[in-house]
Amino acid sequence: MCGIGGFWGTFDRGLLERMNNAVAHRGPDDAGEFFDAKLGLGLAHRRLSIIDLSDAGHQPMWDSSKSVCIVYNGELYNYRELKEELAEQGFRFRSDSDTEVLLNLYRRDGAEMLSALNGIFAFALWDPQRGELLVARDGLGIKPLYYAQTDHGFLFSSELKAILQSPVVSRELDPQAIQYHLTYLWCPAPHTMLRAVRKLEPGEAMLVRDGAVARRWVFYDLPYQAPPDEIDVDEAVDRVRNGLEQAVRRQLVADVNVGAFLSGGLDSSSIVAMYRKLQPDRNIQCFTIGFTGEQTGDFEGFAQDLPYAERVAEHLGVDLHRIDVGPDMIERLPEMIYLLDEPQADPAPINALFISELARQKGIKVLLSGAGGDDIFTGYRRHYALTLERMWRWLPAGVRSTMSAAARTVPAANPLARRARKAFEYAGLDDDARLISYFYWLNPEVSDGLYSDHFRTVLGGSRPKAPLARSLARIPRETDPLNRMLYLEAKHFLADHNLNYTDKMSMATGVEVRVPLLDPDLIGVATSLPVRYKQRGRTGKWIFKKAMEPYLPEEVVYRPKSGFGAPLRGWLRSDLRPLLDELLGEQSLKRRGIFDPEAVRHLVDLDAQRQIDASYPIFSLMCIELWCRTFVDRDRPAPVDVQL
């Protein structure tokens, strides 16, 4: 697990060194560079040693014949099987690293090797004989990769901040990205906040020739094209249970200590339960978050995690390390925005940062995460809401539009009212538009009113649903609506939000996070199941819960849903109010020119009066301003100083 970067064009070695230094936090164990001055091609690498801790794992790495070279960030979980196969065919190895397996696999199969990989990765592989640079990102987007095509050539890196070490990369904002961040709180790939920089999409690869992208293609997509398998419950339970056990076994492969997140939710608890089953005598180190000043019970509509985490730790006999946080966690907000590379409006990344820091202090370099369970088996409240549509989606469009208008008059004073309003606010839209609307945090009609006149002109007629609509077009229309939603969950919400912050926060501390629930074989199991085994009435992840009943206490398996966040709504009205006033003050907003100060102030007032629920969009406005101060106002990105 590492940080990578490089370029091909009219760039110098000094830029390569600056790019490598910008991601030094991702790889504290080693660093390396390859530079061909004649071609203007450079590859840089920072190493976090997980498999084969020796110097033989140094990168950039050439194969034994010196024919191809790679910089690679990730873990290949099936590398041992592939290595054995390649060795039998006469390929030579000088290390026990998965990196060298990639090199030899490429020598045998070329770019076709991508279909054989089970792992998390982003890499760039240089083939001098073909004059090609192969760049690829894993199928679920677990590892990030940014790139820029400029008049001076092609640049890429694990993090956007490294690309911005080059002065030729324009800092011009992408208006659509701002619209996406305000609507969703995250930005769907390939967009970033800058027009000049893009994210390689999950499961996407590209070939670069002579400093320009020559070909781009998708080598993996979530397998929702085939109809579900009609199997009985017992077989479905076995498939899920065996798939999870196999995934955890694969991802425990490491030459360092492996710990785990343990929130007390079903997903992380299931990962730890399988870890315990596979290694019954292991001293397993787990990590969780507690909130100071909060009472056990309702937590902005969610149940608190800590009591459940403690119950699971006791049940499985694992060590649970707890870190308590309060409103002062927000003092690290500027650092969070810098590390994320994106203005994601969610305090959850700071939680992940705290846990990763604590794990590293305890000598843990790898953590298993339960990320992805809700995105492949269901579990979010919007999944249940979508299934309820069968009760009213048959109504005429005019009736549904009336329902929508009525829903918008419901005050958002409490969690129940917020959910009722959300359920019908977009009832009048067509099927795909309504499905996409479940991902909205702010009604596009409201966000349109927040922009300055100039920015609204620049934005033109762009609509925030466009990138998700393009993704929906990739799977058959006859696919069940719930599976269509799950496709968007994994393709965008998971990759562009949860996985981005999980990677960036953990790697900032020199910790690798693995996600067994996103093992390709387990995803194949989840996508093959009938939807009635996923969402059954109000119960999400129904089949997953059935599979885990023998391993976890019933009150954990069937506990209320909780989010991995913080009481942001309350904090914005108290501890965070001074920061809100500074970032979203009239002077600040006029200087930036994106938002209308009067409209923003009106939104803040409506939220404070609890007439609408706009806390997270307001936080998004704050994060966008912080991001601009960090990545646009400075020649090279650095954590910005803000009076907190």
Dihedral (CA of 543, 545, 549, 551) sign: positive
Binding site members: 98, 289, 369-370
Reported confidence tier of residue 405, pLDDT bands at 50, 70, 90: low
The answer to whether the 2-218 and 233-378+495-557 domains have the same CATH topology is no
Domain ranges of the chain: 2-218, 233-378+495-557
pLDDT at 426 exceeding the cut of 70: yes
Higher pLDDT, 422 or 484: 484
In 3-state terms the chain splits into helix, strand, coil percentages (rounded to 5) of 45, 15, 40
Tell me what the mean pLDDT of segment 371-392 comes to. 92
Would residue 40 be called left, alpha or beta, if left means φ above 0 and alpha means ψ between -120 and 50 degrees? left
Known catalytic residue: 623?
no
Per DSSP, which regions of 449-558 are E strands? Answer: 512-514
- State the pLDDT confidence band at 35, using cuts at 50, 70 and 90: very high
For the CA atoms of 499, 426, 468, 631, the dihedral, rounded to the nearest 10 degrees, stands at -60
Instruction: Identify the CATH number of the domain defined by range 2-218.
Output: 3.60.20.10
Given this model, what pLDDT does residue 294 score?
47
Locate 521 and state its tokens: 């074989």
> For residues 269 and 307, is the Cβ–Cβ distance under 8 A?
no
Q: Give the model confidence (pLDDT) of 504-524 as tens digits.
A: 999 999 999 999 999 999 999
Q: Using the 8-state DSSP alphabet, how is residue 640 labeled?
A: P
Q: What is the mean pLDDT of residues 134-159?
A: 98
Whether the pLDDT of residue 300 is over 70: the answer is: no
The span from the CA of 570 to the CA of 456, in Å, is: 31
Cβ(326)–Cβ(293) under 8 Å? yes
Task: State the average pLDDT over residues 605-618.
Answer: 87
Q: With cut-offs at 50, 70 and 90, classify the pLDDT of residue 416.
A: low
What's the rounded Cα separation, in Å, for the pair 579 and 585? 10
Task: Answer whether residue 295 shows pLDDT above 80.
Answer: no
Neighbour tally for 292: CB within 10 Å: 10
Chain centroid to CA 139 = 13
The two beta strands, 366-368 and 512-514, are parallel
CATH class held by domain 233-378+495-557: alpha beta
The set of long-range contacts for 599-605, using a CB threshold of 8 Å and a minimum separation of 24, is: 599/449, 599/450, 599/451, 600/450, 603/446, 603/450, 604/580
Q: How far are the Cα atoms of 71, 177, 546 from residue 21, in angstroms, in the given order?
A: 15, 27, 48
- Tell the residue number behind the tokens 């030729």, with chain if given: 168
Is 29 within 8 Å of 47 (Cβ atoms)? yes
Residue 257's DSSP bridge partners are none
Going 37 to 42 to 46 to 52, the CA torsion angle's sign is negative
Residue 448, Cβ density class (10 Å: 0-12 exposed, 13-18 middle, ≥19 buried):
middle
Strands 132-137 and 146-150: unpaired
Whole-angstrom distance, CA of residue 6 vs CA of residue 29 = 19
Amino acid letter, 6: G
pLDDT at 417: 64
CA distance 385 to 561: 14
Mind listing the pLDDT tens digit for each residue in 308-336?
999 999 999 999 999 988 777 878 899 99
Q: Tell me: pLDDT of 570 over 90.
A: no
Token pair for residue 414?
Answer: 């409490």
Q: Taken in order 327, 328, 329, 331, is the CA torsion positive or negative?
A: positive
Non-local (6+) Cβ contacts of 568 within 8 A are 300, 347, 576, 615, 616, 619
Mean pLDDT of 572-579: 84
- pLDDT (mean) for 17-32: 94
Dump pLDDT digits (tens) for 452-480.
Answer: 999 999 998 888 999 999 999 999 999 99
Using alpha carbons, select from 157, 154, 82, 160 the residue that is nearest to residue 117: 82
Token readout for 7 is: 């370029």
Mean pLDDT within 207-233: 95
Give the HSE-up count for residue 540: Cα atoms under 13 Å, Cβ half-sphere: 25
Mean pLDDT of the chain: 91
Q: How far apart are CA 164 and CA 306, in angstroms?
A: 40
CA atoms within 13 A on the CB side of 563: 16
Between CA 307 and CA 230 the distance in angstroms is: 38
Residue of 2, 69, 286, 628 marked catalytic: 2
pLDDT at 370 over 50: yes
pLDDT band at 20 (very low <50, low <70, confident <90, very high): very high
Q: Which two tokens stand for residue 21?
A: 């230094």
- Cα gap 192→495, rounded to integer Å: 13
pLDDT, tens digit, for every residue of 161-186? 999 999 999 999 999 999 999 999 99
